[in-house]
Amino acid sequence: MMKLLKNLQGQGLRLAEASGFGTNLVITVATNLLLVFSSVLTGSLAARLLGPHGRGELAAIQIWPLFLATLGAVGLPQAMVYFVGKRPARVMRAVITNWLLLLPLSILWAGVGYWLMPSLLKSQSSVVVAEARLFLLIIPLAFFNSAHSALQGLSDFVGWNLFRISKPLLYLVLLIGVGLTGSASATLIARLFLLISAIPPFLLVGLLSRHGSLRRAAPDVGLVKPLLRYGIQTTLGTMPQMLNSRLDQLLMAALLPPGQLGLYTAAVSWSMGLGPIVSALGQVTFPRVASAKEEAEARQRFAQSLRLGTMMTVSIGLLMVAVTPVAVSILFGSHFTPAIPTAVVLTIAAVVWYLNQLLEAGLRGLGVPVATAWGEGVGLIVTGALLYVLLPRYQIMGAAIASLVAYGTTLVILIRFASGQTRLSLRDLFLLQPGDWERLRHIWKRMRTEATAD
Q: What is the pLDDT of residues 355-371, one digit of tens each?
A: 888 888 777 777 777 77
Measure the CA–CA gap between 431 and 429, rounded to whole angstroms.
Answer: 6
Per-residue pLDDT at 347: 93
Nearest to 158 by CA among 203, 95, 91: 203
Q: Exposed, middle or buried, 11 (CB in 10 Å: 0-12/13-18/19+)?
A: exposed
Measure the CA–CA gap between 240 and 225, rounded to whole angstroms.
Answer: 23
Report the greatest alpha carbon distance in the chain.
60
Q: Is residue 111 pLDDT above 90, yes or no?
A: yes
**8 Å CB contact between 77 and 144:** no
Q: Is residue 115 pLDDT above 90, yes or no?
A: yes
Number of C-beta neighbours around residue 445 at 10 A: 12
Per-residue pLDDT at 348: 94
Q: Is residue 390 pLDDT above 70, yes or no?
A: yes
* Poorest-pLDDT segment among 21-25, 135-139, 197-201, 220-224: 21-25
| 143-153 residue pLDDT tens | 888 888 888 77
Provide the mean pLDDT of the chain. Answer: 81
Enclosing domain of residue 175:
2-453
Number of domains in the chain: 1
- The model scores a pTM over 0.75: no
Per-residue pLDDT at 235: 77
Quick one: pLDDT band at residue 6, thresholds 50, 70, 90?
very low
Nearest to 196 by CA among 167, 231, 175, 156: 167
DSSP strands (E only) in 282-389: none
Per-residue pLDDT at 14: 45
Per-residue pLDDT at 11: 44
Quick one: pLDDT band at residue 271, thresholds 50, 70, 90?
confident
Q: Is residue 283 pLDDT above 70, yes or no?
A: no
Instruction: Give me the torsion for CA of 101, 102, 104, 105, rounded to 10°.
Output: 120
Per-residue pLDDT at 9: 44
